[in-house]
Structure 1
Amino acid sequence: MEFSSKLGEGGLELVSVICYRLWLRRNDLIFRNLFCGPKHFIKAACTDIIDFSMAIVEPREGRDTGLSPVEEREGRDTDCLWKPPSGARLKVNFDASFLKPVQKVGLGIVIRDSKGDPMVMVAGQRDSVNSAYLAEGDALSRAFSLCADLGVDEADFEGDAKMVIDAILDPTPDSSWSGQLVEDLKKGLSSKTNWKLTHVRRDGNRVTHVLAKLALPLDCEFVWMEDGLYVAMPYIASDKPDCMPTAFTDCV
């Protein structure tokens, strides 16, 4: 009991999988004369956790209910759904997945147009991050730099990290221990007069949530232009306001 309370849910899962991987490592060495270094089997343990998490994804994402993401849209609060940007503006969603025991972060970013079609998807990871707050800040920072590099002048940035977003929108200087990151993000947001930042609930940020989880085991950043990552496309389709269940195959 004391062991589990100190580690927390995520830490206990990671320790359990690492122990299992150590047993496999020992068998490989004895019976197959194969050696696996610590870095490799810890990375493999993280991948196992991510795969398991994706396999038991919440019922609202359509797995346990037997519904596709598009069909699930019909049962969700419309105020929580992803909404397309107006006119020529772009919608930029961002999210981070934080693995506390190894201080690793997966970042997910998607840029969509007014039709809900993806223009850019990004999945990457960061090491040596010690809090979920900083992880979300890193995701937004990467979204800012991505849009700056692409020359995006009119964009609506959305994320589900309310504390981070509230801190950035607060005009009062942030003198907390994470204040430097917040002040840098404030500067980044103000660098473009037509950039806006708002909070959205998780149901309106599902695509980047999937990307961030999948990014955790990566060794480098991956960028998809227009086509997008195939596992994220059902969620892209379900976010489109005019995409009904009967048209699912046409939307993907």
Structure 2
Amino acid sequence: MDILQLFEDLMGRVTEDEFELFLVQCWIIWNQRNSVLHGGTVQDPSRLNKHVEDFLKEYRDAQEQLAIQPTTSSMQQRASWIPPSGLAYKLNFDAAVFAGINASGVGTIIRNAMGEVMVALSARGLSVMDSEEAEVLACRRAMEFAMEIGFRELVLEGENVTVRKALLSPRATCSRLGHIYWDIQCMAMGFRDFFVSCVKRSADSVAHSLARQTEEEAGVVGRVSPTCSRGFVLRQWLIYE
């Protein structure tokens, strides 16, 4: 029996909550094993269930906080986030420029067709010359992040029209940022399905908030990372130089 057959068998025997507990327990045990291999210490096994409860609670709280709110009559003129279709995931990204500290910020969030948050990233970047450079660097970092996590059907959505046009152009971009656009286009070929769209900032507010909050944080920190199959939670602290 392989791992997929095991999961299918378990899904037919236990409730969804029990299946989530099992998956998170597996991940914690695997994480502990890797920690010990790389010089870490063994944690008290009796704390396993408490860790699982904390991870699941954090994931569910994040779902509530990042949920897409229904459009009210007073907000009819504001653009709203639209979920992807089928089995694809939608990656929203945004950038922020912090002139006062010579830095930029990257915000990325990936959701499924039900609007559930699969993974999110908040990261501080280098100083940039203009908003286009900030956006295209944020786009490349978001693409790298999605590939690292393992997504293969993706809708890439940002707010910068210039970036979208450059990514969709069949001709090479002969600007100082051309090599970055080329990197993104090459990464796009690694996805089974890949689409690019553009929205107003009001439909991309979460990614914008994630990018802005890096102004107050030293270093670069990855946010809570729940991902994939039936609520399976994968949570990591991701550090980037």
Residue matched to 1:49: none
1:128 CA displacement: 2.7
Matched residue SS, 1:81:
coil
1:101 CA displacement: 4.3
Q: Contact (CA 8 Å) 2:109, 2:206: kept in 1 or not?
A: yes
For residues 211 and 135 of structure 1, the distance between their equivalents in structure 2, rounded to whole angstroms, comes to 14
Residue matched to 1:117: 116
Q: Contact (CA 8 Å) 1:124, 1:216: kept in 2 or not?
A: no
Q: Which amino acid aligns with 1:150?
A: I
Cα gap change, 1:154/1:74 in structure 2, threshold over 3 Å: closer, same or farther?
farther
1:124 CA displacement: 0.6
User: What percent of counterpart residues are identical?
Assistant: 26
Cα gap change, 1:113/1:173 in structure 2, threshold over 3 Å: closer, same or farther?
same
With the length of structure 1 as denominator, give the TM-score of the two structures: 0.58
For residues 73 and 209 of structure 1, the distance between their equivalents in structure 2, rounded to whole angstroms, comes to 21
Q: Which string of whole-angstrom CA distances, capped at 9 and with x for unpartnered residues, describes residues 208-242 of structure 1?
A: 01111112232122221239xxxxxxxxxxxxxxx
Residue matched to 1:212: 211
Q: Contact (CA 8 Å) 2:89, 2:153: kept in 1 or not?
A: yes
Matched residue SS, 1:125:
strand
For residues 128 and 93 of structure 1, the distance between their equivalents in structure 2, rounded to whole angstroms, comes to 22
For residues 159 and 168 of structure 1, the distance between their equivalents in structure 2, rounded to whole angstroms, comes to 12
Cα gap change, 1:99/1:79 in structure 2, threshold over 3 Å: closer, same or farther?
closer
Cα gap change, 1:102/1:131 in structure 2, threshold over 3 Å: closer, same or farther?
farther
Residue matched to 1:224: 224
1:100 CA displacement: 2.8
Q: Which string of whole-angstrom CA distances, capped at 9 and with x for unpartnered residues, describes residues 71-115 of structure 1?
A: 764433478210111122111100001123443111100011111
Residue matched to 1:36: none
1:156 CA displacement: 0.7
Residue matched to 2:159: 160
Q: Which string of whole-angstrom CA distances, capped at 9 and with x for unpartnered residues, describes residues 51-85 of structure 1?
A: xxxxxxxxxxxxxxxxxx84764433478210111
Cα gap change, 1:123/1:78 in structure 2, threshold over 3 Å: closer, same or farther?
same
Residue matched to 2:86: 87
* Residues paired across the two proteins, number: 159
Q: Contact (CA 8 Å) 1:85, 1:113: kept in 2 or not?
A: yes
For residues 178 and 150 of structure 2, the distance between their equivalents in structure 1, rounded to whole angstroms, comes to 27
Residue matched to 2:33: none
Residue matched to 1:17: none
For residues 101 and 79 of structure 1, the distance between their equivalents in structure 2, rounded to whole angstroms, comes to 30
Q: Which amino acid aligns with 1:224?
A: V
Which structure dedicates a bigger proportion of its chain to helix? 1
Matched residue SS, 1:75:
helix
Gaps of 5+ in 1: 1-68, 228-252
Matched residue SS, 2:211:
helix
Residue matched to 1:129: 128
With the length of structure 2 as denominator, give the TM-score of the two structures: 0.61
Q: Which amino acid aligns with 1:93?
A: N
